[in-house]
Amino acid sequence: MSFQAPKGTFDWMPPRSERVLAVRDALSAPARRAGYGYIETPAFEDTGLFSRGVGESTDIVTKEMYTFVDKGGRSITLRPEGTASVVRAVLEHGLPGGPLPVKLWYSGSYYRYERAQKGRYRHFSQVGAEAIGTEDPAVDAELIVLAVDGYAALGLTGVRLLLNSLGCAECRPAYRAALQDFLRGLDLDEQTRQRIEINPLRVLDDKRPEVQAQLAGAPLVTDHLCGACKAYHEEVRTLLTAAGVTYTDDPRLVRGLDYYTRTTFEFLHDGLGSQSAVGGGGRYDGLSEMIGGPPLPSVGWALGVDRTVLAMEAEGLFDAQPATVDVFAVPLGEEARRAVFGLVVALRRAGLSADMAFGGRGVKGAMKAADRSGARFALILGDRDLAAGAVQVKDLTTAEQTAVPIAEVADVLKGKLS
């Protein structure tokens, strides 16, 4: 019997795994340019952090968390999302006592016991960004723009932005009561009815067609916003428009976590089928207090790396065979093999990506390996070349071949590749 990856998980393997690295870099680059610092938190936390912060009424907490008792008798959970851990770390390290907002970005793996399907996995990867400690529509707009710029940098054109406001502690109670009155009159199963009493917004987030069909006449949160929330949301919309961001107002948009307030948003891509969300986020002004901290208004997002890769593949944005190196060296003989090894090391130290033929392959096999690597240039070195102190540089796109002094080959290749 051979082992396989657990159900709902998969392995990223070369060359496709290179796409993951490119996506992570592109999605995080706008945040890094905007002054967001990198944070890395543990892959597991005290279970209470998520049950209190994410919300006991959410599917994540009730059905999807990987929870276990460790050898010290503590209830531990693999992180199902990133925001609660980041806020916990900010509080633990006393960052609210310094300049605000605390601006952080992160990238990592997350775990949920989902119903496994394409685009919905039990182990998945996200890039996230959080601005903690400031209530300002400009911060909300900044984060949305950073996400938009990340998707644009990848060449994606099919990403759509949905925008809404969920109100605040002042106006949410009236909406909650109106929504509960509406939902109690629907034909819903017992578990969903329990949600009505705990957090009725979770019912709006129910993806089952038989539930969605009954929600057409549900009251809208935008009809219950207080004056402050209306003004806040309008300012976010104004700033996004000024930044050239296209969005769609969606008064029925809610997020699957309990901590969201005011600004909420989601990025969709229609090339992914039913799992169309590629990222999302919003404002969570009460999360710090939920987990025992002081009032700390904050906003953030998480962008799915796996789903972004799928979106890019749907748009045909990847080469069929991405190059693994720029230069591939082919030695002809034992003495040449030693010289090629030293040359490849020198090229790498000079900042070039380079590989060589291993295992004593013949010329034909070595050149096939060069083609498979996607390299732009092949370096061919034999006894005559060694005697002349030169190496044959072959352009694999044009088949043009020239002799270059070994001492100059790094500079010559840099010039050609630039």
* Digit-coded pLDDT (tens) for 165-208: 999 989 988 988 999 999 998 888 888 888 888 888 878 877 78
> Is 179 within 8 Å of 219 (Cβ atoms)?
yes
Ligand-binding annotation for 83, yes or no, is yes
> Is 46 within 8 Å of 160 (Cβ atoms)?
no
- Note whether 332 and 359 are same-domain residues: yes
What's residue 208's pLDDT?
86
Ligand-binding annotation for 112, yes or no, is yes
- Note whether 309 and 360 are same-domain residues: no
Outline where 243-290 has alpha helix (H): 287-290
Ligand-binding annotation for 259, yes or no, is yes
Domain total in the chain = 2
Whole-prediction pTM value?
Answer: 0.89
- Note whether 269 and 164 are same-domain residues: yes
Ligand-binding annotation for 307, yes or no, is no
Ligand-binding annotation for 260, yes or no, is yes
Ligand-binding annotation for 400, yes or no, is no
- Note whether 120 and 31 are same-domain residues: yes
Give the residue from 87, 68, 85, 129 showing the smallest Cα distance to 104.
129
Q: Count of CB atoms within 10 A of residue 73's CB?
A: 6
Q: Is residue 206 part of a domain?
A: no
255 pLDDT higher than 90? no
- Note whether 99 and 243 are same-domain residues: yes
* Digit-coded pLDDT (tens) for 93-111: 999 999 999 999 999 999 9
* Digit-coded pLDDT (tens) for 113-161: 988 777 788 999 999 999 999 999 999 999 999 999 999 999 999 999 9
Ligand-binding annotation for 82, yes or no, is yes
Q: How far is 248 from 17, CA to CA, in rounded Å?
A: 33
Domain span holding position 296: 16-171+225-314
Q: Show which of 314, 339, 356 is a domain's final residue.
A: 314
395 Cβ contact list (under 8 Å, min separation 6): 376, 377, 401, 416
- Note whether 275 and 338 are same-domain residues: no
